[in-house]
Amino acid sequence: MPDPVPFLRPNVPRLSDMVDGLRMIEESGVFTNNGPVNARLEASLSDDVFGHPESVVTCCNATIALMLAMKDVIRTRRRARYVLMPSFTFAAAAQAAEWLRLTPLLCDIEPDSWTPCAASEERLIARHGDDIALILPYATFGAAIDLGRYAALSRRTGIPVVVDAAASMGTTLPSGRPFGAGAPCPVIFSMHATKVFGIGEGGFIHCADTDVVERIRRMANFGFEAPRVASLPGLNGKLSEVAALIALEKLKTYVDATERRVQLAALYRQELPDWQFQAPTAGRQAHAMMPVLPPDSFAGSRQSLIDGLAEAGIGSAAYFAPHLAQHPHLARHVVSDALRVTDHVSSRLVGLPLWDGLTDEAVRRICREARALVELGAGMRHFIRKAKLA
Ligand SMILES: *Cc1c(COP(=O)(O)O)cnc(C)c1O
DSSP characters over 30-49 = --SSS-HHHHHHHHIIIIII
The mean pLDDT value for 302-330 works out to: 97
Residue 109 Cα to ligand 1 middle (Å): 19
DSSP notation for 293-319? EPPTT--S-HHHHHHHHHHTTB--EES
pTM of the complete model beyond 0.85? yes
Q: What's the angle, vertex CA 330, arms to CA 72 and CA 293, rounded to 5?
A: 100
Q: pLDDT digits over 245-303, tens only?
A: 999 999 999 999 999 999 999 999 999 999 999 999 999 999 999 999 999 888 889 99
* Rounded CA Rg of the chain: 22
pLDDT at site 31:
98
Task: Give the nearest ligand 1 atom to 288 CA.
Answer: 15
Band of the pLDDT at 5, cuts 50, 70, 90? Answer: very high
The percent of residues above 70 in pLDDT, for the chain, comes to: 97
- Complete domains list, the chain, with CATH: 15-250 (3.40.640.10), 254-389 (3.90.1150.10)
Closest atom of ligand 1 to 201 CA is 7
Question: pLDDT-based confidence at 389, cuts 50/70/90?
Answer: low
DSSP 8-state assignment for residue 385: H
Predicted confidence band of residue 376 (pLDDT cuts 50, 70, 90) = confident
Q: What residues does 178 pair with on adjacent strands?
A: 172
Question: In the predicted model, what is the mean pLDDT of residues 151-163?
Answer: 98
| Overall size of the chain counted in residues | 390
385 has pLDDT over 80? no
> What is the mean pLDDT of the segment spanning 380-390?
66
- Residue 120 has a pLDDT of 98
Give residue 24 CA to ligand 1 midpoint distance, Å.
30
Q: What is the mean pLDDT of residues 166-185?
A: 98
Pocket, ligand 1, Cβ cutoff 6 A: 61-63, 89-90, 92-93, 138, 164, 166-167, 190, 192, 203
Cα(288)–Cα(10) distance, integer angstroms? 10
So what's the pLDDT on residue 78?
85
Residue 223 φ/ψ region, left for φ over 0, alpha for ψ in the -120 to 50 degree band, beta for the rest: left
pLDDT at 334 over 80: yes
Q: Quote the pLDDT of residue 382.
A: 61
Residue 332's pLDDT band (boundaries 50, 70, 90)?
very high
Q: In the predicted model, is pLDDT for residue 233 greater than 70?
A: yes
Give the C-alpha separation, 369 to 71, whole Å.
47
Please give the share of the chain, as a percent, with pLDDT higher than 90. Answer: 94
pLDDT of res. 326: 98
β partners of residue 311? none
**Residue with the nearest Cα to atom 2 of ligand 1?**
166
Q: How far is the CA of 384 from the centre of ligand 1 (A)?
A: 42
Q: Which of the four pLDDT bands, split at 50, 70 and 90, describes residue 377? A: confident
Nearest in space to 168 (alpha carbons), one of 10, 288, 345: 288
Reported as a single tens digit per residue, the pLDDT across 69-103 is: 999 999 989 899 999 999 999 999 999 999 999 99
Quick one: which H or E segment has residue 57? strand 56-59
Cα of 354 vs centre of ligand 1, distance in Å, is 18
- Please, which pLDDT band fits residue 1 given cuts at 50, 70 and 90? confident
Ligand 1 atom nearest residue 194's Cα: 1
Residue 379 pLDDT: 64
**Which protein residue's CA is at the shortest distance from atom 14 of ligand 1?**
166
- Determine the average pLDDT of the residues in 332-344: 97
pLDDT of residue 378: 61
- Ligand 1, from 60, 98, 145, 190: best to mutate by most atoms within 8 Å of Cβ? 190
Q: What is the mean pLDDT of residues 112-133?
A: 98
